[in-house]
Amino acid sequence: MARASTMPDPNIIVWFQNRFVRLAEANVNILTHALHYGTGVFEGIRGYYEDKQRELFLVRALDHYERWKQNCGILRIHVPASPSELCDITADLCRKNGFHSDVYARPIAYKSSERIGVHADDNDAHAIIVLPFGHYFSEKRGLKAGVVSWRRVEDNAIPGRAKICGAYVNSVLATDEAHRNGHDEAIFLTESGHVAEGATCNLFMVRNHKLITPPVTDNILEGITRATVMELAGKELHLEVVERSIDRSELYGCDEVFFTGTAAEVAPIVEIDHRPVGKGEIGPITDKIDRLYADATHGRMPGYKEWLWPVYGSAIIEKTA
């Protein structure tokens, strides 16, 4: 199953070097420190367009920008704007580009010195790009995943809890191996042999009527979509949500498995290592969570309106039957 791809329009407006410019003008020098040494931190923020309200909702944008600024601190990268100001800039980008569709925002901050030398300095820069964006995976009939030989990077090497640019070589290697082995997506194990997450997604397992996910101490990204799903599952479906280490063999005997992520959303898994998950089809709990997530992020559940940052100023609507 191929990932959906978007060829960006070079004329869209982006935020670069503290001003609005065309994407075609937002370029960096080939000696930029982050290009050579991976010294950048990025985020991903979804925006969903709700036709009935003619509104574009940025999902948990404030939480994403708070995490971004916190994670930038790991590399001592300073982003001067507050999370609220960054949300306003992102909404302004959507308006300037006239987006009335689903979008994906990519903030990135990086070490911008133009020189050779691994030592970092305080020459920081940041940018925000917003693009029209559909599903990360080209279809949602269920993924075929495979455990790869590459291990999830350890926190004491490069913190997996932060979206550090250089750490994503780990994900690139895992994804390439998974695809060459006939899978749609990779599953990482930790060095201790426990399940960590997908190449770019958190992982959930349904077993014995419980929703189980690896703890943040198993070198996973502290996912905002992960936290969203945990809250929805507990409040709306009254499921017991458990954070604990997962053995690889548990994946072969569980009822359901799915990935979560800002780009991936809720992505069902129907096969792992060429073995069917459960009945080999999308499970009922996964399906319910997927629907709940879509309703909450499209402004159809007023109880979760605090998660949404309206671009055009509409109110949250009641869910219709």
Query: Who's near 40: CB < 8 A, 6+ residues apart?
Result: 34, 75, 77, 108, 109, 110, 111, 164, 165, 166
Beta strands 256-261; 202-207: pairing state: antiparallel
Q: Is 210 a catalytic residue?
A: no
Query: Quick one: which H or E segment has residue 87?
Result: helix 83-96
Residue ranges with strand state E in the chain = 13-16, 19-22, 40-42, 45-50, 55-59, 103-111, 124-132, 143-151, 185-189, 195-198, 202-207, 210-213, 240-243, 256-261, 265-272, 275-276, 308-310
Q: Are 256 and 182 in contact (CB under 8 A)?
A: no
Of 40, 45, 118, the closest CA to residue 79 belongs to 40
Q: Could you tell me the sign of the dihedral formed by the alpha carbons of 44, 45, 50, 56, in that order? A: negative
Measured distance CA(262)–CA(224) in Å, rounded? 8
Of 220, 222, 225, the closest CA to residue 190 belongs to 220
Of 227, 321, 294, 318, the closest CA to residue 48 belongs to 294
| Token pair of 166 as six digits | 């250089």
| Token pair of 308 as six digits | 């949404």
Among the listed residues 69, 163, 210, 279, the single catalytic one is 163
Instruction: Estimate the share of the chain in helix, then strand, then coil, as percent rounded to the nearest 5.
Output: 30, 30, 40
SS (H, E, C) 123-144: CEEEEEEEEECCCCECCCCCEE
Residues with a catalytic annotation lie at 163
